Structure 1
Amino acid sequence: MVDKKATYPPIVDVLIVGAGPCGLAAAARLREETPSAIFTDDEHQRYHWINKHSGRMPLVQAHHRRVKGVRAEKWKTYNSRSRQRTYSSVSTSSNESEAPSLSSSVDSAPDTEEAIMGEGSLSTIVLDGTGQRWMERWNRAFETLEIEQLRSPMFFHVDPGDRDGLLAYTGETGREGDLWEITGCVGKEMSKHKRKKKMMRSKAQAVGEVEIDERDRKDYFSPSTGLFADYCESIISRYGLDAPGTIQQREACDIKYDYHMDLSPTEKIFTVTNTDGTQFYSRTVVLAIGPGRRKILPFPLSAEETNGACHSTEIRSFPSPNIRQKVQQRRETNVVVVGGGLSSAQLVDMAVRKGVTKVWFIMRSDLKVKHFDIDLSWMGKFKNYEKAAFWSADTDEERLKMIQAARNGGSVTPRYQKVLRQHAARHRVSMHTRTVITGREYSPETQTWRLTTEPPIADLPAIDYIYFATGMGLDVQELPLLQTMSRDYPIETKGGLPCVTDDLMWHREVPLFVTGRMGALRLGPGAANLEGARLGAERIAWGMDEVLGRAETEDTTAQRSKECFCGLGNRYAGLADVSW
């Protein structure tokens, strides 16, 4: 008789949908037992001291396999750290003088099959429609748009082990030349009167009101895209997330949570169905799908019109073939870019650099200039006030208003504002604020557009191509992937965002976790950026411990040792087990 269960894939502990920054942050955090967010500098130093003097001082037992992970060194890979722990159990003389960094590990290096089966850790599999590598979509987008620099500061990254990890990695690899200083946001402080007035009114901060202390200057550099990509690769290697089979190139299209009589008749599990018909089974699911799936366009494009326009997320080569041909023939070319965010400014700059005669930059509001996509008040030394106000809000409607005020639509950095002005001074760019397209006519024969706008743009010529850098929309109720979940386990939404639990769970009885923009009502305005990826991963990890029972099944002695290291609880409680 054939075992029916053998025809099914194994049930994994965690299935992550999305291999971008949010998915990577969650996967890394689930393999990190001592994340930097939990420990102060003093606690970090105590860990270093304990490791340096391990075996010499009569400490609480620190050699348990789970606690021993703190002996790991920061930039060693998952496999090499595992080998070092084996070696250090019989000889510690070679590294006694070194103070190891606080990057924890799981217990054994994964083989190809173990990447899914999870030997010694949570079994994990990742589904992504773009490719079989972490950050594939992210890296491809930056490469296509020729973006050399991230907008984010140095402490925005996905490393759970060290808040200053990117800064340390830059120094270790000698790549200080890959950093750009974010000028104009450090050193100047608000007066007490202005600060008090600002706290009394919940209003978006202007660019000129700087609230970041001079002592934090080192944090306010932005890395090059190459440096950030390499740092992410080091994180992937460190936590053993690069084993073959970890990421499956599949597009998930449905998630169902119910009993499966052939696999798990006594507990509910997730069945994740992909567009190719394949199915995976998991005890928990992490939804890390980024900013959304619905492209925001000022008007729908017909099949014919898509030959002369596209959304910025659809760009595969730049410029379009017809413009490239005209540029090579030294003919006049005209391009329209619609949008008001940083991506639109980068498209305008790239079009000029590629030889386009003139770019018409159209935005429906004013050109807003900010260092980051959220206000400095959410990042500087008063961010605890803003976050406390957000988390203390009585309703999700209040939180949504705070998110909208903090982000306040698309914006460009001061650096790109300067670039745009330089192009405009040379008559290569024409900027039009508070302007919308009210009429259009596309000619397939000439492959050009005739546009009308409000207010009218004088002497607007025939347009060769339109790029819409108008962002992505997110409405949980519209996502095909969540139609079954919304039907079987309906929850409230505000502004398209799900009202999930504080642990970012869909429902207290449904261990479907969301992160990134989908968790904004719990994480705050920064949910959609790299900071939100790490904050979301932290909450998911704590919730995952409770759902999967790891916190309850962990050895009592190891748990007590860990609490003593952290200075948590009653450190004299261990005396109760001592025989006198």
Structure 2
Amino acid sequence: MTLSAQKPAIDMLDLVVIGAGPHSLSLLCRLLEQSPFETLTDSDHQRYHHIRTKSKNKLVRDCCDTIDVDSLKPHIKVIDANVSSGGWMCQWNKSFEALHIAHLRSPVFFHPDPFHPDALRTFAKAECRECELLDITACFESGCKKCKKTKQRSHFIANDRRQFFTPSASLFQDFCASLVDRYGLDDVLHQGNVTAITPVNPNTPSSYFEIKSFNKYTGEYETFTAKRVVAALGNVNNPIIPPWVHMIPQHIPEKRIVHALDFVQCLKSDCEGCHDDILPDQLKEQLNDLSEKPRLLVIGGGLTSAQLVQLAVKRGFKDITLMTRGVLKTSQFDLSLDWIGRNANTLFASFWQAPLAERRAILRRAKNGGSVTPEYMALLKCYKETGVLEIKEKQEVRQADWNSHYEKWRVLMSTCEYEEYDVIWLGTGAALDVKKEACLVSVLESDPIEVVGGLPALDRNLKWGDLDLYMMSGYCGLSLGPTAGNLIGGRVAAERIAGDLWKKWVDESEELRSVSEGARVKGGREVKPDLFSLATMTGSFENFWSVLVE
């Protein structure tokens, strides 16, 4: 099936996706993939099988299997603020580049490809880049030993061992680029920073959304209309700033307190030597002077803080203090193995049966604060042994004052000791709080839903109440569980959202066909509706199913 070249211009988009990260990529690939591999439960398969076969109309059933993907893409737009500077996954790629991250934390079977579960490993082999897969089978073996010691069923079976490798950042980037090429997704991208999503005529058959977007390069606002919206928002909009920073009485000098996200923002500005630009000029001179040893304080106990320490060493710092609120923990993943092994179903069953407040507590416990991978922990120990790094565990900053005369920070520790530092870097992470997302203010006002600990209470299909607004990434935590923000969570979210979208598209196609087919039968033989008259009848505001022809 193809779309006629004579169709009128369609102003109403069928779908707008906000964000061009790995979760959005998972969704677009899933929407365009006609033969996805199985990732759902038996009940899920039964539900989707019902969707695909419930219609007695063969034309509608065939649409799901033989639709030309080129006719779907013109009705979809993906809006992201960083498209012009890097295309798909720009924020993701720049984050890895800014912090000099060599490998992903996720195993090789976490990826956006809906066609094959082993697609990333296959890609590495086809490109002769298997050397870029980091062996983390020690994590597999420790998980098996732990279960054996506690007489529990092992989290993994022997065949799972081959999946315990993590891809390099460049390998994963090229793999995702191959998905973009395979599904032709560059054409759906549009540069813009979405500032508002406004429901129009909500809870009515004629409801739609107005999406306001600002293009920072042209300095102009654009407004798009769409029947459905998917918000794949990350947590980079809400950096966690410690309370003592807000208590600093005087003006904070530029570049003397820097959050990890600032490194990424600097790199996104396409400036040369961006890591130098994040440092004060005087400090750069001191780093180049071998007689000077400027002091750096890194705050945080997770992987980002360890990456900041590594970055500081590369920038020439020789006196670094890493301060953590608790004890540094080592973990290959950012959540327990219980949630990704074969015993995970039991935990997820308990999670879904729990009330929302308890689910939020489970999410916090599953993360268990920050942790550092074994590779970075070995690196920190090496820095400590060489005298470059001092680690202060179970300590916090109570107060910090800037001495403008000496141009140094005077920091009061929780141990009631004072230390002086030239610069402070914050590896304190970012928070998920849907109420602080500027683009969702109108949605929260017009169609409020329950929010628990910053996370919205979405339905099973990750839909916002009665609106055709879907959420992805960590904001699906109350519906998907602790893996919501991970790559595997993006794939599960894509399955749920794509299933619901296809159901709506099929139902709309069936409804429109039933309206038009009454006078379209001659001698008991069906005559398919004329394309232009069908488009005219819908006022050019229907989705692509409205104008399909053989």
Q: TM-score range by the shorter chain?
A: 0.7 to 0.9
Would the aligned equivalents of 1:296 and 1:473 in 2 still touch at CA under 8 Å?
A: yes
Counterpart in 1 of 2:55?
Answer: none
Q: Mapping of 1:476-555 within 5 angstroms?
A: 476-507=434-465, 509-549=466-506, 553=510
Q: Mapping of 1:31-180 within 5 angstroms?
A: 31-37=32-38, 67=65, 107-109=68-70, 119-120=71-72, 123-132=75-84, 133-180=87-134
Shift of 1:192: 6.2
Q: Mapping of 1:552-567 within 5 angstroms?
A: 553=510
Aligned counterparts of 1:35 and 1:537: Cα–Cα separation in 2: 11
Report SS of the residue matched to 2:128. Answer: coil
Aligned counterparts of 1:524 and 1:256: Cα–Cα separation in 2: 28
Of the candidates 393, 398, 402, which is equivalent to residue 433 of structure 1? 393
Aligned counterparts of 1:150 and 1:288: Cα–Cα separation in 2: 20
1:307 aligns with 2:255: yes
Counterpart in 1 of 2:530?
Answer: none
What TM-score do the two structures reach when normalised by structure 1? 0.74
Aligned counterparts of 1:554 and 1:169: Cα–Cα separation in 2: 42
Counterpart in 2 of 1:99?
Answer: none
Shift of 1:108: 4.8
Counterpart in 2 of 1:420?
Answer: 380
Aligned counterparts of 1:551 and 1:172: Cα–Cα separation in 2: 42
Aligned counterparts of 2:498 and 2:200: Cα–Cα separation in 1: 23
Give unmatched runs, 5+ long, in structure 1: 1-7, 41-59, 69-105, 110-118, 200-209, 557-580
Aligned counterparts of 1:310 and 1:523: Cα–Cα separation in 2: 33
Q: Which segment is superposed worse, 127-136 or 442-451? A: 442-451
Report SS of the residue matched to 1:238. Answer: helix
Aligned-partner residue type, residue 28 of structure 2: A
Q: Which segment is superposed worse, 270-279 or 159-168? A: 270-279
Would the aligned equivalents of 1:186 and 1:213 in 2 still touch at CA under 8 Å?
A: no
Counterpart in 1 of 2:331?
Answer: 370
Counterpart in 1 of 2:150?
Answer: 194
Shift of 1:185: 1.6
Counterpart in 2 of 1:472?
Answer: 430
Shift of 1:195: 4.6
Aligned counterparts of 2:256 and 2:344: Cα–Cα separation in 1: 44
Q: Mapping of 1:159-558 within 5 angstroms?
A: 159-187=113-141, 188-191=144-147, 194-196=150-152, 211-243=155-187, 246-259=188-201, 267-275=206-214, 276-298=220-242, 299-300=245-246, 304-315=252-263, 316=266, 317-318=274-275, 320-322=279-281, 323-330=283-290, 331-391=292-352, 393-444=353-404, 446-456=406-416, 460=419, 462-507=420-465, 509-549=466-506, 553=510
Would the aligned equivalents of 1:190 and 1:211 in 2 still touch at CA under 8 Å?
A: no
Aligned-partner residue type, residue 441 of structure 1: D
Aligned counterparts of 1:547 and 1:539: Cα–Cα separation in 2: 13
RMSD across aligned positions (CA): 2.8
Counterpart in 2 of 1:102?
Answer: none
Report SS of the residue matched to 1:285. Answer: strand
Report SS of the residue matched to 1:431. Answer: strand
Counterpart in 1 of 2:519?
Answer: none
Aligned-partner residue type, residue 226 of structure 2: S
Aligned counterparts of 2:62 and 2:22: Cα–Cα separation in 1: 32
Report SS of the residue matched to 2:468. Answer: strand
Deviation string, structure 1 residues 73-124 (Cα, Å, up to 9, x no partner): xxxxxxxxxxxxxxxxxxxxxxxxxxxxxxxxx5154xxxxxxxxx245711
Aligned-partner residue type, residue 20 of structure 1: G
Aligned counterparts of 2:145 and 2:397: Cα–Cα separation in 1: 41
Aligned-partner residue type, residue 38 of structure 2: A
Shift of 1:395: 1.1
Shift of 1:168: 1.0
Shift of 1:277: 2.7
Aligned counterparts of 1:286 and 1:171: Cα–Cα separation in 2: 34
Would the aligned equivalents of 1:213 and 1:380 in 2 still touch at CA under 8 Å?
A: no
Aligned counterparts of 2:500 and 2:64: Cα–Cα separation in 1: 19
Aligned-partner residue type, residue 129 of structure 1: A
What TM-score do the two structures reach when normalised by structure 2? 0.78
Aligned counterparts of 2:421 and 2:100: Cα–Cα separation in 1: 23
Shift of 1:490: 0.6
Aligned counterparts of 2:422 and 2:235: Cα–Cα separation in 1: 29
Would the aligned equivalents of 1:252 and 1:274 in 2 still touch at CA under 8 Å?
A: yes
Would the aligned equivalents of 2:135 and 2:166 in 1 still touch at CA under 8 Å?
A: yes
Aligned counterparts of 1:159 and 1:376: Cα–Cα separation in 2: 23
Would the aligned equivalents of 2:194 and 2:211 in 1 still touch at CA under 8 Å?
A: yes
Shift of 1:213: 2.9
Aligned counterparts of 1:457 and 1:348: Cα–Cα separation in 2: 23
Structure 2 CA distance for partners of 1:12 and 1:325, relative to 1, 3 Å: same
- Seq. identity, %: 30
